[in-house]
Amino acid sequence: MSNRAWMPLHIADYLADTGHLTATEHGAYLLLIMHYWQNGCLPANERVIARIAKLSPEQWEESRDILAMLFGPGWTHKRIDAELSKADEIIEKRRAAAEARYAKGKKQTSDANAMHVQSKCSDTGALPSTYDLSSFHSDQIEKETRERDEFSNWFSSWPSAASDDDDDAFAAWRELSEADRSEARKHSDAYVQAAKGGGRTTICSAAKYLRKRMWTRITRAKPPSTAPPKTKEQLAAERAQRIKQMIAHNQSWGN
């Protein structure tokens, strides 16, 4: 099963490949490729595939061949297989980086302990008081691992995560306070939607979003008016009131 919380969807490619589908077939195809992404394949039993696609037997009979044209033999999907391989490669890269940091931390702990045991007090020749460096470094490693997991859960949902430098983004994440991290997570979806709504086709890198504290642009934005639109009757009443005031004003001048 895929470990990725998000599935890349290249809009232009998708529309080019599926322009001939009906609305029902679009829904069925999306359900099938999402199942494929999560599980790495589709079942061999086509009755199960039809159930995954949420199609009735009649609709499956009508749309089965159309949907099958979007897959390879045995309901394989070359594009998704390639994206899964890419995702696994990114995950493995992050795992290797975490293990390297952990190994480096252990080596530093070992070296520090060795120096500690060999050193003696210059005045008495006695061993200095013991300080548990191993426990200190273990706590540091545990803290970094916890921060990395917390960061990864957020980073995996960022639109440009697949092409971002995750180490640079993680460094920016660690520069933030706990409160700022919470705000960055809380407003990231709203920032992305606002950027897309403004006509942007690309979203900034996660590192830039964090370092520039770009979520504050959302929190500073003026909230939209929540007043309901006026009815025709209300508008007519306001217009009549203005006319009445104008008549009264003119009469006062005539007097």
Exposure class string for 3-40: b at 16+ Cβ within 10 A, else e: ebeebeeeeeeeeeeeeebeeebeebbbbbbebbbeee
pLDDT band at 192 (very low <50, low <70, confident <90, very high): confident
* Contacts (Cβ under 8 Å, ≥6 apart) of 153: 5
- Amino acid of residue 3: N
Give the separation between CA 182 and CA 179, rounded to whole angstroms: 5
Q: Give the start-to-end residue ranges of the domains of the chain.
A: 11-76, 157-223
pLDDT band at 5 (very low <50, low <70, confident <90, very high): low
In this predicted structure, the answer to whether residue 99 has a pLDDT above a threshold of 80 is: no
The pLDDT of residue 4 is 62
Question: Do the Cβ atoms of 153 and 146 come closer than 8 Å?
Answer: no
In this predicted structure, the answer to whether residue 3 has a pLDDT above a threshold of 70 is: no
pLDDT band at 226 (very low <50, low <70, confident <90, very high): low
Please state the pTM of the whole predicted model.
0.41
Give the rounded distance of the alpha carbon of 209 from its chain centre.
Answer: 13
Question: Do the Cβ atoms of 120 and 77 come closer than 8 Å?
Answer: no
Least confident range from 40-49, 80-89, 183-192, 242-251: namely 242-251
Instruction: Give, in order, the Cα–Cα distances in Å from 51 to each of 46, 207, 231.
Output: 9, 42, 47
Least confident range from 20-24, 28-32, 119-123, 203-207: namely 119-123
Q: Check residues 4 and 224 and name the one with the higher pLDDT.
A: 4
